[in-house]
Structure formats: structure tokens, C-alpha cells
Chains A and B, each alone.
Chain A
Amino acid sequence: MGLLSIIRKVKSKERECRLLILGLDNAGKTTILKSFNGEDINSISPTLGFNIKTLEHRGYTLNCWDVGGQQTIRSYWRNYFEQTDGVIWVVDSADRVRMGDCKRELIDLMGQEKLAGASLMIFANKQDLRGAMSRDQIREVLGLDGKEFENRHWGIFGCSAVTGEGLLEGMDWMTEDISGRIFMLS
């Protein structure tokens, strides 16, 4: 987030944020977005591109960019970094096998210069599944208390896109964190 774009936001008083929703395939990114928006979540298929969704939340307009997580698509993620205020990283808490991949991709992402100022909110999704790792276990396994994250505003929330539990808390944290940084002058 460059100084110019901060000034632009303050000046125009647009209470708009751009959120980028990423994570491995089958993490539940699209389902979270639809569930949060009160939409039908029974017929969701893998995202082979992007889903852009505008949400009105607590007086803010959240422009959410949910980009597919399949390996072949991940190399295109960088095309969506520009002007991102917040990254929502979605984890399938029951996918223990790929937790290493998940950590590697997250750390790689957070090393990207264009995302240097973005807030990071992690959804430990699928908490309704038996065998899901807890929020604290995921915090540990992703190494969130390590040096890669020490200069980052981050938060982690357990959630279930299916029951809706935890989604509001996570989105509230995200909106508040971004507004605290960007809109404080307005």
C-alpha cells in the first residue's frame, strides 16, 4: 500500500477495501464468500478463474477477489496483488496431509512485495469436520508466531463455511484492522 493510494482513499472518502481470498484448492474460499453473503452453498464447483464479489459490511464496501487455488492457477495469483488491503488465507483444517504445502504457499505469498502492507486474516475452515485441527494447532503448524509474520498485522479465526460459525468474527477483525490503518485520517 503506497502512500499515494492511502491519500487517494482518504481524499475520496471511499470506504472501500480490496480483499484477496487465497488458499489451496478445496479450502473453501468460494463457500466462505457465498455463505457469508447468505447465498446457496449446495452447488459450488472448483473455481477455475476468479469470483469477484462486492459485499456491503458495516458501512464498508468490501471488494473480494476469490482466485482459484489449484496448482496450475497459483502462478497467476500475483496478477491480483495490486492494491490489496487485506489477504484472507483459507485453510482446510481437516487436510493434515497438505498442511506443509499450505504453510509454504502462505509464506511465499507473504514474501511478495506488493502485499507487504496488507493485513492477513486466516480462516481455519471446516471446524465442523471431525478430525479438523484446532485454530491453535493451525497457528502453530503455520508458524504464525515466527519471524515471517512479526511485522504483519494478522489474525486467525476458526470457522465453518457450512454452519456460518466464525465468519462474522473474522470479517469484522479484517474490516477493523484495515480501517484502523487506512481510514483513520478520514
Chain B
Amino acid sequence: MVTPSDVLEFRKPAENFLCTLSANCYGIDFLQFQINDYETKKIIFEVGKDIPPVNMEMDIDFGNMEDSFRKIKYTFSEDVLRLPLIGTSLVFKVGDKPLEDFRMIERHYFRNKLVKSYDFTFGFCIPGSTNTWDTVYSLPPLEDDLISEMVASPYETTSDSFYFVGDTLVMHNKASYRYKIEDLAQAKRSYETDYEAKNSRLGASGGGAKGTAGESKAGGDEESKGVADSKMGDSDDEGPWSKNADYD
């Protein structure tokens, strides 16, 4: 049986799925996922039950349909590698059973080398609830060489996402990523065009406490990296992206 501490030791992508689809006996269902530019709130990528996917496909293997549903290919703007603060938003619902200790561990690799690891504990989930998890990743500037390499190597950036209830693995998904080069001569980024209707609403609304994101972003980074390192026990493999959002 695979435990959270096992997957935190992984240094390369898992060769197979480490649980069956039926391991998800809690009825956990992802409803929506979004990536945005935290400072401008512009949507960079979005997929959901009622949102037709753009820039996303399943890796269909007709000999093994069950696995195909768990292997997704994404295309993101290269801006997700370059913007200083990236926000993500995940909406999921759970079935009639309470989840006592829900936790996600995600391992990201480039060419079979670990580049980042996320570990987040949701804790308790209310039976029948729909929940939203918004988080922000501060990315210290990546080396241009690495970014160029990743952009030039479609689908060689991959990830394994593991979801645990307590120590029991209930879901395992795989993804691979391709990065779309932005033409800086254009007035708009590709995603500004893709999500034009939604993004244009942003300027019009939100009296909000504006400017708080911008003026307060300094400082968080090094601390969270420090936590990640101590948890991982192997800072060399962590790379510059690590963010550990574990609340235990």
C-alpha cells in the first residue's frame, strides 16, 4: 500500500497508476480548475464541467480506457513559468461520507527529474459539500535556460497527483504539459483572447481592497521554501519552485 511518505520519496514519475479508479469510494469529483495571474486576476487556463476545455486533451489508449481518463495533456501559456505570482483554483465535491483527512501531494518532473513538489492538507471535508481551494504560488525567477528547455520540449514536463484520505491513496492522476510561446509583438497574450469575455469583466468590477496583492507580496518565498526543504529532507532535488503548503 502506498502512503504519503512513500510518494514524498519519489524522484521520478510513477510507471503505473498506483490505485484503481474504484479506490475513490468517497465520490470525490473535480468540478473546476483554473490558473490565473494573481496580480491581474486574468485567467490563463480554465476547465470545468460546464466549461468546454481549451488546450487540453486526454491521452486516449483504447486498450486501457480506465487509465486514459486519468492521463491528461495540457497546453499552458509559457507565462505560467514566468509570472511572479500564479494563482490556482480547484473546485471539488465529495459524496455522502465525510473525509477525515484529505490531502494532496503533487510531484512535478522535467525529463524525469523532480522540479517541484506540492503537499497540501485539506483536512476534514463535510459530507455532500462542494469546496474551493485557491492558492498562490510565488515563483522566484526561473533560469531562462530551463524555461527555454521546457518550452522547447512538449510533454516532457509531467506530474503525478496523489490524493489521500488518511493514509489511503484514493486517487492518482497523471498529466503532461506543453508550453505555448507567447508572441510579444501581439497586443494580447493568447489566454487574453481565449478567455476574453471573462477577463474583460475584471476591470469593470471589484471595488475591493485593491493594491493589497501588489504591495504585500514580498517575503513569503524563502520561508515556504525552507519548510519544503526540511520536509523533503533533500533540498538538492527541490529546485527553485518548491512550495509546501502543508498545515499539519
Q: Which residues in A have some Cβ–Cβ distance to B below 8 Å? A: 12-16, 18, 34-42, 48-61, 63, 68, 73, 76, 79-80, 82-83, 162-164, 167-168, 171
CB nearest to A186 among chain B residues: B223
Q: How far is the CA of A55 from the CA of B123 in the complex (A)?
A: 19
- Closest approach, in angstroms, between the C-beta of A33 and any C-beta of chain B? 9
Q: Is the interface of B mostly helix, strand, loop or mixed?
A: mixed
Q: How far is the CA of A12 from the CA of B225 in the complex (A)?
A: 10
Q: How far is the CA of A63 from the CA of B134 in the complex (A)?
A: 10
Contact partner of A51 among B41, B124, B134, B218, CB < 8 A?
A: B134
Q: Tell yes or no: B202 within 8 A of A by CB.
A: yes
Most buried by B among A48, A61, A63: A61
Q: Report whether A39 and B124 are in contact in the complex, using a CB–CB cutoff of 8 Å.
A: no
Q: How far is the CA of A117 from the CA of B124 in the complex (A)?
A: 22
Q: Report whether A56 and B220 are in contact in the complex, using a CB–CB cutoff of 8 Å.
A: yes
Contact partner of A56 among B130, B131, B134, B216, CB < 8 A?
A: B216
Known contacts A54-B136, A59-B220, A167 near B124 by CB under 8 Å = no
Q: Report whether A168 and B223 are in contact in the complex, using a CB–CB cutoff of 8 Å.
A: no
CB nearest to A30 among chain B residues: B132
Q: Report whether B208 and A38 are in contact in the complex, using a CB–CB cutoff of 8 Å.
A: yes
- Closest approach, in angstroms, between the C-beta of A39 and any C-beta of chain B? 6
Q: Tell yes or no: B206 within 8 A of A by CB.
A: yes
Binary flags per residue of B201-218, CB closer than 8 Å to A gives 1, else 0 = 110011111101101111
Q: How far is the CA of A127 from the CA of B192 in the complex (A)?
A: 35
- Closest approach, in angstroms, between the C-beta of A131 and any C-beta of chain B? 20
Q: Report whether B134 and A76 are in contact in the complex, using a CB–CB cutoff of 8 Å.
A: no
Q: How far is the CA of A6 from the CA of B68 in the complex (A)?
A: 46
Q: How far is the CA of A82 from the CA of B208 in the complex (A)?
A: 29
Q: Report whether A41 and B206 are in contact in the complex, using a CB–CB cutoff of 8 Å.
A: yes
**Chain A residues within 8 Å of B41, by CB:** 38-40
Q: Give the top 3 A-B pairs by smallest Cβ distance, nearest first.
A: A49-B129, A59-B219, A79-B124
